[in-house]
Amino acid sequence: LGERLQATMDRIKSKGKVSEADVKVMMREVRLALLEADVNFKVVKQFIGQVRERALGSDVMQSLTPGQQVIKIVKEELTELMGGENQKINLAQKPPTVIMMVGLQGAGKTTTAGKLALHLRKNHNKKPLLVAGDIYRPAAIDQLETVGKQIDIPVFNLGDQVKPQEIATKALEHAKEEHHDTVIIDTAGRLHIDEDLMNELKDIKEIASPDEIMLVVDSMTGQDAVNVAESFNNLLDITGVTLTKLDGDTRGGAALSIRSVTEKPIKFVGVSEKMDGLESFHPDRMAQRILGMGDMLSIIEKAQTNVDMDEQKKMEQKIKDQSFTLDDFLEQMDQVKTLGPLDELLKMMPGANKIKGLDKMQMSGKEIDHIQAIIRSMTMEERERPEKLNASRKKRIAKGSGRSLQEVNRLLKQFQDMKKMMKQMTSGKGKKKNPLGNM
């Protein structure tokens, strides 16, 4: 569906002018994309209304690039809906900072408690204490102990015979004695929200007066995540959300719904089971992910301001069906000269930051000239099938272009890498491995 949305956008974009009917078609596609990404239907309805109003505004309809304007509005509004900017974790003015993890069973509380401890030590120079407050789930305490050992952070553990309320009290005393400036309390979850659990959590909140009540939500649960978030927020007045398991197949629509239903910021996302798999939440990147467009769109946008539209269309198609040749590369270089640094453009592509040696692909104007010289010394056939180049042909090309054999080889290698990257991009593989771009 992401593709369909893209196709509609492309069609409208290329038209240059939009009518009210076009906006309607576009809004239908956006609506479908959002529903597909598991965004709550009420949220979708409200969102679409807002975008439509802005899209039909005269400044958009009369602009030279209305299609692009509408896309921009969609992205802007999505980003805004998710809080606009990244929000940091609450830290106490006067230590200790107390963080209370809450959420359903299996959401990722214990894992995220460890990840947060590591994050706070690494990036905020804190000395955290983890508190084993889940006395119900078998092996929950052992699990936290294991997490603590893994990242070398102490765990406060009174076993499973002491009530969680008392554990919280004692943990805070212990933190004071041992000069821990951060206390992260892991709590029990249930399969569903029930009153016993909520009362226990309310008690702990009362006792520990946390600076951050971090709701942990499994992004894979889709629509359910919204109800869970709403209930927890109503009962505990949460202060932040961590959305876990974004490394899975989910498009992340839950992020949008949770934010608009609770009005509480999503602060982090979990992107792996490992302790370093925690990233700051960036609304703009999530907007891209939800729409399934990748950063490709910004590249196209950037390109369109400088490059002839038809040319760009042809290139996009070539990237899509992977028939991009060295000759196209040669042509692109001319455009790159007017666009700005190639590595900047490449960095915007989804998954590009995972590609080794990208930093080495930075090119100055002079290097571009050299590369163009090399490609110009190839026959058309060679430009189309560089894999067929043997040693003697490479030597001839080097001589013809006045560059070294090494440079010829380097170019061929870079081109190969680039093609690989394009393949990843179009197959969506790169996207999955690195769903949110370079965070």
Q: In what order do the strands lie in the sheet with 128-133?
A: 155-156, 128-133, 182-187, 97-102, 212-218, 240-244, 266-270, 278-280
277 known member of a binding site: no
Residue 277 binds which entry of ligand GDP, Mg ion, none, CB below 5-8 Å type-dependent = ligand GDP
Residue 265 binds which entry of Mg ion, ligand GDP, none, CB below 5-8 Å type-dependent = none
DSSP reduced 3-state for 272: coil
Residue 2 binds which entry of ligand GDP, Mg ion, none, CB below 5-8 Å type-dependent = none
Per-residue DSSP letters for 274-293? STT-EEE--HHHHHHHHHT-
Q: How many CB atoms lie within 10 A of CB 21?
A: 8
Query: Which positions from 41 through 80 interact with ligand GDP, judged by CB under 6 A?
Result: none
Of the ranges 47-55, 107-115, 238-246, 314-322, which one interacts with Mg ion (CB under 5 A)? 107-115
Whichever of 242 and 332 has its CB closer to ligand GDP, that residue is 242
**Checking DSSP bridges between strand 278-280 and strand 266-270, what pairing results, if any?**
antiparallel
Of the ranges 171-179, 224-232, 242-250, 284-292, which one interacts with ligand GDP (CB under 6 A)? 242-250
Closest CA to 436 of 302, 300, 252: 252
Strands (E) located in 123-170: 128-133, 155-156
* CB 197, min distance to ligand GDP, A: 12
Residue nearest to Mg ion (CB): 110
Residue 430 binds which entry of ligand GDP, Mg ion, none, CB below 5-8 Å type-dependent = none
Whichever of 66 and 437 has its CB closer to ligand GDP, that residue is 437
* CB 37, min distance to ligand GDP, A: 18
CA-to-CA separations, 72 to 6, 62, 63, 371, 415, in angstroms, rounded: 13, 15, 13, 35, 32
Whichever of 30 and 100 has its CB closer to ligand GDP, that residue is 100
288 known member of a binding site: no
Query: Which positions from 111 through 130 interact with ligand GDP, judged by CB under 6 A?
Result: 111
Residue 103 binds which entry of Mg ion, ligand GDP, none, CB below 5-8 Å type-dependent = ligand GDP
Which residue stretches of 218-324 are H helix? 223-236, 253-262, 283-291, 296-306, 309-320
Candidates 105, 280, 377, 426: give the one binding ligand GDP (CB under 6 A): 105
Q: How many residues bind ligand GDP (CB under 6 A)?
A: 18
Q: Token digits for 165?
A: 């309320």
Of the ranges 109-117, 200-208, 380-388, 427-435, which one interacts with Mg ion (CB under 5 A)? 109-117
- Asked if 230 contacts 142 with a C-beta cutoff of 8 angstroms, the reply is no
Candidates 164, 265, 270, 350: give the one binding ligand GDP (CB under 6 A): 270
67 known member of a binding site: no
Candidates 79, 97, 110, 239: give the one binding Mg ion (CB under 5 A): 110
183 CB burial (10 A radius; 0-12, 13-18, 19+): buried
DSSP reduced 3-state for 243: strand
Q: Which helix (H) or strand (E) holds 186?
A: strand 182-187
105 known member of a binding site: yes
CA-to-CA separations, 236 to 74, 82, 110, 137, 254, in angstroms, rounded: 33, 21, 19, 21, 20
CA-to-CA separations, 246 to 43, 274, 431, 439, in angstroms, rounded: 21, 13, 12, 14
292 known member of a binding site: no
Whichever of 35 and 235 has its CB closer to ligand GDP, that residue is 235
Q: Which helix (H) or strand (E) holds 141?
A: helix 140-151
247 known member of a binding site: yes
Paired with 240 in beta bridges are 214
* CB 284, min distance to ligand GDP, A: 21
Angle CA 114–119–122, to nearest 5: 125
Candidates 2, 66, 83, 108: give the one binding ligand GDP (CB under 6 A): 108
Q: Which helix (H) or strand (E) holds 367?
A: helix 365-376
* CB 429, min distance to ligand GDP, A: 17
Query: Which positions from 164 through 203 interact with ligand GDP, judged by CB under 6 A?
Result: 189
429 known member of a binding site: no
Residue 251 binds which entry of Mg ion, ligand GDP, none, CB below 5-8 Å type-dependent = none
Residue nearest to ligand GDP (CB): 270
Closest CA to 110 of 253, 291, 242: 242
Annotated binding site for GTP: 103-110, 186-190, 244-247
Binding site for Mg ion (CB under 5 A): 109-110
Binding site for ligand GDP (CB under 6 A): 103, 105-111, 189, 216, 244-245, 247, 270-273, 277
